[in-house]
């Protein structure tokens, strides 16, 4: 719990004890990324906390991916071990060289969104 607090300590408006997160807050996936940490199972959170020590941005990236793709704990662990956060969007392409600047940037952005 201490690691959880340290990783997410600067998040404001966290639910208080006794509040029903799903009825009172109920954000859509991605709508309030910081509250999404409460929408995934504790086992998923524990893996993320262990692998993303002191990197809240990386932790929230994995939380979002779990919710978007409905990852099991084993799938999450695989992507944590293969460092998806660092790899995403780094596919080698020739878009910038062969396409006009605007189209090259757009093509690279599309590759980031659909890397896996």
* Tens of pLDDT, residue by residue, the chain (116 residues): 888 888 888 776 555 555 555 544 444 444 455 668 888 999 999 999 999 988 999 999 999 999 999 999 999 999 999 998 887 766 666 777 788 877 777 776 666 654 44
At 33 the three-state DSSP class reads helix
Q: What is the pLDDT of residue 114?
A: 47
| Token pair listed for 30 | 């991605």
Q: What is the pLDDT of residue 50?
A: 94
d(CA 28, CA 90): 28
Q: What is the pLDDT of residue 97?
A: 78
> Are the C-beta atoms of residues 85 and 61 closer than 8 Å to each other?
yes
Q: What is the pLDDT of residue 116?
A: 44
- Give the number of other Cβ atoms within 10 Å of residue 56's Cβ: 16
Q: What is the pLDDT of residue 109?
A: 67
Question: What own/partner pairs with CB < 8 Å and gap ≥ 24 does 97-103 have?
Answer: none
């Amino acid at each position: 719990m201490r690691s959880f607090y340290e990783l997410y300590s600067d998040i404001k408006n966290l639910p208080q004890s006794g509040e029903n997160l799903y009825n009172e807050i109920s954000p859509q996936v991605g709508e309030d990324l910081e509250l999404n940490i409460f929408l995934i199972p504790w086992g998923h959170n524990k893996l993320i906390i262990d692998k993303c020590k002191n990197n809240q941005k990386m932790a929230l990236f994995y939380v979002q991916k779990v919710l978007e793709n409905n990852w099991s704990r084993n799938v999450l662990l695989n992507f944590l071990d293969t460092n998806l956060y660092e790899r995403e969007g780094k596919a080698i392409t020739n878009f910038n060289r062969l396409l006009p600047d605007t189209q090259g940037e757009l093509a690279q952005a599309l590759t980031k969104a659909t890397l896996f």
